[in-house]
Amino acid sequence: MEIKDKITTISDKSGCYLFLNLENKIIYVGKAKNLKRRVSSYFKKVSNIKTMQLVRSIADIKIMITESEQQALILEQNLIKKYKPRFNIVLNDDKNYPYIAITNQANPQYKYIRKYDKNSLKSYGPLPDGSSAREILKMLERLYPLWRCGITSGKPCLYYHIQQCSGACFKEVEWNYYQEMINQVDAFFNYDNLVVQEKLILKMTKAAENLQFEEAGRIKKLIEHLSFSKIDQEIDLNDNLNRDIVAGVIENDKISFVILFYRSGKLLFKDEYIGDYQGQEITELYESYLAQIYSKNMLPDFIVIDNEFDLSKFVENYSGKLVNAAGITEKKMWDLALLNAKESLKQSNLASAIVNNNESTILKKLQEILGLKSYPQHIEMFDVANILDEHVTGAMVVFKGGKPSYSDFRRYNIDISDKGDYQRFQNMVYRRYQKLLKGNLEAPDLIIADGGIIQVNAILSQLEILGLEIPVIGLVKNERHKTDHIIDLDKNPLKIKTQSSLFNLLAKIQDTVHNFAISGFRNKQTKSLTQNFLEKIPGIGPTTISKIHSIYPTLNDIKQASVNDLKKIIKNQKALDNLLVYLHDQK
């Protein structure tokens, strides 16, 4: 059925529409209150060249009807997350900002979380990456202790003896105590840091006087971490409201979004997104961006957007918190966000100009020199890491549009008797692409092996078994372990100019998969070392060690776990105490 004929059959109900290209790949997902009207609008009048590029790429349309526009928005975000369409805004998982939370229980505890939990008694954040949120959490545990051990053993825990636990482990603690601690934490996050700094300076001085130089150095770092809240204020709000100010700007082929996070009336930090602009309707872009941000993060008191937007065009998904920048103060804040968005885009364009990093042009060049039938929008690359055949780890990275898609990266534990790269690549590739046969995976446009003809042949052998036709090349390194040349589709060596943008992109992909494989290998080494130390803890046997590893794969993960969480795994109180003593000695 022709596209124009298919449009006539589309329902006028709410739901999602999916645009597919000639390769049957989903290239755009949108939602609409009236599907027929929205989809028709793409084909009735093309307002600009970018929109025309999107429309010309459409070979088929699929429709999914929902009961409401609200449900359509949720479905849209799930589909974007699953398929990562080329023409949609797709945020990476790094938008899970850190939070410090206080649990909602009779004896509350601190928690470090990467995704907002609405069930917490208190949540502080989002905190900027690089603010050392974990170190700040340790500082709060020392200065304003809650129930740190999470144990009700009837006797004081180790943390209580060093004044880092409320003592709920052996006595009843009145709520007034916790309320006082929480008030102090509130004051800290309301940027009343002078009191905290004075306390820390006293502790640092005392530690130095007692020749506890390591402890003094740790406290000094904590004092330095407090600077995360010291951002110059251009607007004095004089209130305790939480506001997120969102502004976007489009220039040529790029779009930039910036959010300014104001907490308790103070500017905490900013975050930004820069992506390709493909001619989408601007309200849809804003709504998709906001939906992805707030599916993972706390809603503030207000989300301020440009006063030119008609709020009725947005799905009511923010509990009435979405407002226009109508007032004088809000307009100043939005102007500041817009200025930041323009500056981010300017710097991004400048950086792109310097390194000649036009991903679309580069990928078209790659398509040309390899003779690929389709544009290599989706590239997957494989590598294997091991030392002396121990802890063999396979790695696969995904680049979409020339940029890493971190949430799609995968590692593989390769536990086979064969010790050659050929068999290890076979094992990894078969496990990856058998999912294509089940419909649980999107096929890449190009597969790259970190290696030469051996690795390429290993991949091709498994694709043949699976009945898949996907182009495969190799990327060979020189004796200095640097990217050197390609093994092309005909298995011939193909040199590329070392100063070219294409070379830089391929080298970046190769370095990324290598580093990802090495980090996985090191994690295995760390896990092995962790197992060795757990085997030395009296009372902890193989079954318990296996349970601990399944949840806390590294020693650092175990250190970050609360005592209450460890108690759920280690039922023997004496064994738990032995572990806690060991962990304390490691600090």
Beta pairing, strands 99-102 & 322-324: unpaired
Q: What pLDDT, on the 0 to 100 scale, is given for residue 269?
A: 78
Distance, CA of 346 to CA of 336 (rounded, Å): 15
Q: Which of 110, 114, 93 is nearest to 101 (CA)?
A: 110
Between the two ends of the chain, the Cα-to-Cα distance in Å is: 68
Beta pairing, strands 446-450 & 472-477: parallel
Q: Provide the greatest CA pair distance for the chain.
A: 83
CB 543 within 8 A of CB 570: no
Contacts 24+ apart (CB under 8 A), 363-366: 363/401, 363/402, 363/505, 365/501, 365/502, 366/446, 366/502, 366/505, 366/506
Contacts 24+ apart (CB under 8 A), 438-441: none
Q: Is 243-355 CATH 3.30.420?
A: yes
Output phi, psi for 278, to 5 deg.
Answer: -115, 20
The residues near 263 (Cβ < 8 Å, ≥ 6 apart) are: 125, 189, 242, 300
Q: Is 444 helix (H, G, I), strand (E, B) or coil?
A: coil
Distance, CA of 508 to CA of 503 (rounded, Å): 8
- DSSP 8-state assignment for residue 311: G
Kind and range of the H or E element at 110?
strand 110-113
Beta pairing, strands 266-276 & 390-400: unpaired
Distance, CA of 32 to CA of 322 (rounded, Å): 19
pLDDT tens digits for range 29-55: 988 889 998 888 887 765 555 567 678
CB 342 within 8 A of CB 254: no
Distance, CA of 574 to CA of 224 (rounded, Å): 38
Distance, CA of 332 to CA of 325 (rounded, Å): 8
Output phi, psi for 155, to 5 deg.
Answer: -145, 155
Best CATH choice for the domain 3-69 from the list 3.40.710.10, 3.50.50.60, 3.40.1440.10, 1.10.150.530: 3.40.1440.10
Output phi, psi for 379, to 5 deg.
Answer: -120, 135
Q: What six digits make up the tokens of 530?
A: 């962790």
The beta-strand segments (E) located in 402-526 are: 403-404, 410-413, 446-450, 472-477, 483-487, 493-495
Query: What is the pLDDT of the chain when averaged over all its residues?
Result: 82
The tally of CA atoms less than 13 A away on the side-chain side of residue 558 is 27
CA 274 distance to own-chain centroid: 15
The yes-or-no answer to whether 362-524 and 536-586 have a common fold is no
In the chain, what are the domain boundaries? 3-69, 99-229, 243-355, 362-524, 536-586
Q: What six digits make up the tokens of 40?
A: 């028709």
Distance, CA of 133 to CA of 78 (rounded, Å): 29
Q: Is 120 helix (H, G, I), strand (E, B) or coil?
A: coil
Best CATH choice for the domain 362-524 from the list 3.30.420.340, 3.30.420.40, 1.10.510.10, 3.40.50.300: 3.30.420.340
Cα–Cα separations (whole angstroms), residue 298 to 22, 127, 303, 360? 40, 11, 11, 35
pLDDT tens digits for range 544-570: 877 776 677 666 667 777 777 788 788
pLDDT 10s per residue in the chain (587 long)?
A: 678 788 889 999 999 999 998 888 898 898 888 999 888 888 776 555 556 767 888 889 999 999 888 888 889 888 988 888 888 887 765 567 888 999 999 999 999 888 788 889 998 888 876 556 787 888 888 889 999 988 888 889 889 988 899 999 999 999 999 999 999 888 887 765 667 777 778 888 888 888 887 778 777 776 766 654 444 455 556 677 888 999 999 887 788 899 988 887 778 778 888 887 776 778 888 888 888 888 778 888 889 998 888 887 777 666 678 888 888 888 888 998 999 888 888 877 665 554 444 688 889 999 999 999 889 999 999 998 765 455 578 889 999 988 888 888 888 888 787 778 899 899 999 999 998 887 768 889 999 999 899 999 999 999 999 999 999 999 998 877 788 899 999 999 999 888 788 898 999 999 888 888 877 555 555 455 555 667 777 878 777 877 776 677 666 667 777 777 788 788 888 888 877 777 665 54
Q: What pLDDT, on the 0 to 100 scale, is given for residue 231?
A: 43
The residues near 46 (Cβ < 8 Å, ≥ 6 apart) are: 52, 55
The arrangement of secondary structure in 536-586, i.e. its CATH architecture, is Orthogonal Bundle (1.10)
Give the angle 346-347-351 at the CA atoms, nearest 5°.
120
Output phi, psi for 213, to 5 deg.
Answer: -70, -30
CB 545 within 8 A of CB 530: no
Cα–Cα separations (whole angstroms), residue 393 to 195, 514, 519, 549? 49, 11, 9, 17
Q: What six digits make up the tokens of 314?
A: 């947005």
Distance, CA of 132 to CA of 165 (rounded, Å): 22
Q: Which residues pair with 483 in a beta bridge?
A: 477
